[in-house]
A and B are shown apart, each in its own frame.
Chain A
Amino acid sequence: MAETTTTAPVAAEALSLVPKAEGRQSMKEFKSDQEVRWCPGCGDYAVLAAVQGFLPSLGLARENIVFVSGIGCSSRFPYYMNTYGMHSIHGRAPAIATGLATSRRDLSVWVVTGDGDALSIGGNHLIHALRRNVNLKILLFNNRIYGLTKGQYSPTSETGKITKSTPMGSLDAPFNPVSLALGAEASFVARTVDSDRKHLTEVLRQAAEHPGTALVEIYQNCNIFNDGAFEVLKDREQAEEAVIRLEHGQPIRFGADGAKGVVRDRDTGDLRVVAVTPQNEAEVLVHDAGAATPTTAFALSRLADPDTLHHTPIGVFRSVERPVYDTLMADQVDAAVERHGKGDLSALLSGNDTWTVVG
């Protein structure tokens, strides 16, 4: 199978208002002078390197890039980027970034968040950013555990997980972030893995160019509190059977020599995995990230077994264009000026009913 996903039809409108850099940029320019303080072996290092490595390819003026984060291990990310950045408060990064992106369309605004930050304390802001389709790129580092508070279960932890706060096993059913995002009307949803630099980079590139909110779930290993959570997707032998790489316009096949494929069940309409045979080969679903409805993307997001992670699709589930909130907001400002003229403070303050007192 090909190493990278192909591109669904996207416009570069997302970046058209962002000033371009003069000359070539290097990865080094995007590293801040701050010492990186994640635990040795943390998956965050790989994501940081991928982001620092891929940003020069966008060719955007570095001063017009902003990283906004919440609270958690991953939320230290902005400190390590030599761009503008804000390390805010728990769960609120999408709200803060919304204000920034809607008031400054010349910026490329990125949100860095984790499974606790985005899906627990900040769940409300996440879904509303997605439904509004604000021009934000949200990197959701999912390690299925609370790391910074030292190992409690998170909203993506598997049910029954034994942690410090759940010695008898957690009771909560987990969120599936991709399903959640699709249900929240997201126009771009992708999943990738911290250790697959090439795949990660390609997904980031597509996200960056997407007009509107792009949610990228990054499976990220916490080697201290939840080590090996995604091992089945990383181990070469196991991954072949476990990982389904989604490529726009390509049949959804995986396994050794593409022996398995995803087909639609004629009776239920749901998706299932089959062994591909000459007889059923034509029935194998062709991935369409730009499908009019998110129905099939949602079905794909439910393919994986939440316990074993077998049949986990990665890549771009959905990438469609729909009106972008900040563009609409700017259009209203322009329309108001066109309709009523540029604001006249004197006329506004006077209103229509005045009287004059003369000396």
Chain B
Amino acid sequence: MTSQVSSPAEQADGTVVGEQRKPVGTKDVRRLDRVIIRFAGDSGDGMQLTGDRFTSDTASFGNDLSTLPNFPAEIRAPAGTLPGVSSFQLHFADHDILTPGDAPNVLVAMNPAALKANIGDMPSGAEIIVNTDEFTKRALQKVGYAASPLEDGSLEAYRLHPVPLTTLTLEALKEFDLSRKEAERSKNMFALGLLSWMYHRPTEGTERFLKTKFAKKPDIAEANIAAYRAGWNFGETTEDFAVSYEVAPASTAFPPGVYRNISGNLALAYGLIAASRQADLPLFLGSYPITPASDILHELSRHKNFGVRTFQAEDEIAGIGAALGAAFGGSLAVTTTSGPGVALKSETIGLAVSLELPLLVVDIQRGGPSTGLPTKTEQADLLQAMYGRNGEAPVPVVAPRTPADCFDAALEAARIALTYRTPVFLLSDGYLANGSEPWRVPEPDELPDLSVRFARTPNHTLEDGTEVFWPYKRDPETLARPWAVPGTPGLEHRIGGIEKQDGTGNISYDPANHDFMVRTRQAKVDGVDVPDVEVDDPDGARTLVLGWGSTYGPVTAAVRRLRAAGEPIAQAHLRHLNPFPRNLGEVLRRYDRVVVPEMNLGQLALLVRARYLVDARSYHQVNGMPFKAEQLAAVLKEAIDG
């Protein structure tokens, strides 16, 4: 199997930019199977962009990769402070990997705050590249360094590379007609160039990117490219960097196909567009900006040529309200939000349960309660999605497991919503939303058929022979009610949030009818067709680890470690949280011990214990960060050992 880069180097205007550079010097080149790099700096230093570029170049090189952006909620937190540190971690390898990695091999620290905030995660022997220009007395004091850690020996355990990044950048750009401030801004590109040299990254992608990004400011584009090249050349020439590294493409990790790098929110947005096409229904998004979901609104609003309508509403309630109105009119309707927004939308979700209209509620979970940790990840909205409404208001819940899986999960959520005429929760989280990984781009004909049949004719005959339309006469198999959209003659009907009579949909306060309708709505959701959960258990283990959503990466990585060490362990991962797969109870009872790791205080564990009377053990973490594989491996080992 071979891997080739097929990115076009030619721009729309016909110019060819960039060229593939390879280190040509006489320095040592070492081969590695994987590397974890963390870029860290002020939130204004452009670390996310730097990480994104390194990621794109790494993706196009053909490595497997996984990323973890980590940034503060403030747009520009006070410069040089610990709360203002923004970082981007990237794990890339010549084989199939699952997580952004536990401990970085390399830290790029743009200032003392970035060093201090991240040094605790660095294993001894790691390489640390610091921008010495920023290690001024004042900057050191600001974060509580009494003496410079570059000089007091406290970094002896690491391979320290002190680099005057700012000075070198300014020097490289002195021919440009730029202010000092403008020129300084390119120091992240210098750092990127240096790291690109160290790890033999292709360069033409970033150069092309800079030309496009600054198309209207060619001076700035050229300056950034010059800084980027200067960083590369610095690595090539300076004696401080004696070794560069090769990480071969992950040729055998990927089945044949066309690949790209994709983040969770982008994959989710594309999944919604694909679902709209597969259902042949126009896509309508009603949304209110909220971190970390806003990128889906941004992305969908760029694709109006797919017939997508995006409505930035006055509040969360109006966002879902408008979506529900569009659903009544026959659109594939979506609202996107995070936990606090779900709280506001709850009443409308209940209305959608009662109206039995298809509606996707996308919750990109973040740390809670209340405003919580807007830019950090958590899985603590599971019970809110399950039960956060008045009355008995069951809603199917689907959760993607990786960034790329957000695409398929969106299609699956749409399938359930359209088939069963119900609101559906799609529970992603901040880690999946902003993280990225390679994705095999599907061919449109691989996508599921989501076609829908609107009601066109009366569906009931009265005793006197009159043909009428009954909006709550159900499909006997799915229990879904007919979807008759306004504009259909003869099917005029009224629906609402008041309890309605079975069949006719007319207002009914009859006790027996209410009891029947509550049970029927529950039975409809309980009856949603979901695939059985698959168990990965090659060794006949006695312990099962059960995960859901974004813990898939770290759980699977932990399971691999254990098996490599000869420890048998079984793994099952849930995509459907409501209803659970039919075989879940039987699977859980097969094992002596069941461990449920979650980024909450044990919400799935609570559900499976209640549902199946299984003594599932919860292991949880709510620090805003994904689990680490090593940590989970240790916990699972304890469980195996009893």
Which residues of A pack against B, CB within 8 Å?
19, 32, 34, 61-66, 68, 78-79, 81-89, 92, 95-104, 106-107, 124-125, 128, 329, 332-333, 335-337, 339-343, 345-346, 348-359
Mark contacts of B529-550 with chain A using CB atoms, 8 A cut-off: 1 yes-contact digit, 0 otherwise: 0000000000000000000000
Q: What chain A residues lie within 8 Å of B333 (beta carbons)?
A: 99
Evaluate whether A87 and B494 lie within 8 angstroms (CB atoms) in the complex, with A99-B284, A329-B309 already known. yes
The answer to whether A357 and B256 have CB atoms under 8 Å apart is yes
The answer to whether B321 and A125 have CB atoms under 8 Å apart is yes
Evaluate whether A356 and B259 lie within 8 angstroms (CB atoms) in the complex, with A63-B489, A343-B273 already known. yes
Q: Which residue of B lies closest to A100 (CB)?
A: B325
The answer to whether A62 and B259 have CB atoms under 8 Å apart is no
A154 to B330, CA, bound (A): 36
Q: What chain B residues lie within 8 Å of A350 (beta carbons)?
A: 258, 260, 441
The answer to whether B251 and A354 have CB atoms under 8 Å apart is no
- Measured CB to CB, the closest approach of chain A to B442, in angstroms, equals 7
Please, could you name 29 A-B residue pairs with CB atoms under 8 Å apart, sorted by A?
A: A63-B486, A64-B486, A64-B487, A82-B492, A85-B496, A86-B494, A87-B494, A95-B313, A95-B322, A99-B284, A99-B322, A100-B325, A102-B311, A124-B314, A125-B314, A333-B308, A337-B305, A345-B273, A345-B306, A346-B444, A348-B303, A351-B260, A354-B259, A355-B5, A355-B260, A356-B6, A357-B3, A357-B62, A358-B4
The answer to whether A349 and B441 have CB atoms under 8 Å apart is yes
The answer to whether A89 and B284 have CB atoms under 8 Å apart is no
Q: What chain B residues lie within 8 Å of A32 (beta carbons)?
A: 494
Quick check: is B268 within 8 A (CB to CB) of the other chain? no
Interface residues contributed by chain B, number (CB under 8 Å): 80
The answer to whether B494 and A103 have CB atoms under 8 Å apart is no
The answer to whether B315 and A102 have CB atoms under 8 Å apart is no
The answer to whether A348 and B273 have CB atoms under 8 Å apart is yes
Q: Which of B327-383 contact A (CB under 8 A)?
A: 327-331, 333, 347-348, 350-351, 355
Evaluate whether A356 and B4 lie within 8 angstroms (CB atoms) in the complex, with A96-B321, A124-B314 already known. yes
Quick check: is B591 within 8 A (CB to CB) of the other chain? no
Evaluate whether A78 and B205 lie within 8 angstroms (CB atoms) in the complex, with A348-B303, A350-B441, A357-B259 already known. no
The answer to whether A333 and B496 have CB atoms under 8 Å apart is no
A358 to B254, CA, bound (A): 9
Q: What chain A residues lie within 8 Å of B330 (beta carbons)?
A: 103-104
B303, B318, B326, B488: the one contacting A125 at CB < 8 Å is B318
Q: What chain A residues lie within 8 Å of B50 (beta carbons)?
A: none
- Measured CB to CB, the closest approach of chain B to A181, in angstroms, equals 16
Quick check: is B56 within 8 A (CB to CB) of the other chain? yes
The answer to whether B260 and A354 have CB atoms under 8 Å apart is yes
Q: What chain A residues lie within 8 Å of B284 (beta carbons)?
A: 99, 102-103
Q: What chain B residues lie within 8 Å of A340 (beta carbons)?
A: 305
The answer to whether B486 and A98 have CB atoms under 8 Å apart is no
The answer to whether B492 and A63 have CB atoms under 8 Å apart is yes
> Among the interface residues B6, B60, B321, B444, which one has the most CB atoms of the partner chain A within 10 A?
B321
Evaluate whether A63 and B441 lie within 8 angstroms (CB atoms) in the complex, with A333-B309, A348-B270 already known. no
B59, B305, B313, B326: the one contacting A343 at CB < 8 Å is B305
The answer to whether B497 and A124 have CB atoms under 8 Å apart is no
A65 to B559, CA, bound (A): 59
Quick check: is B286 within 8 A (CB to CB) of the other chain? yes
A346 to B444, CA, bound (A): 6
A64 to B277, CA, bound (A): 25
A46 to B277, CA, bound (A): 46
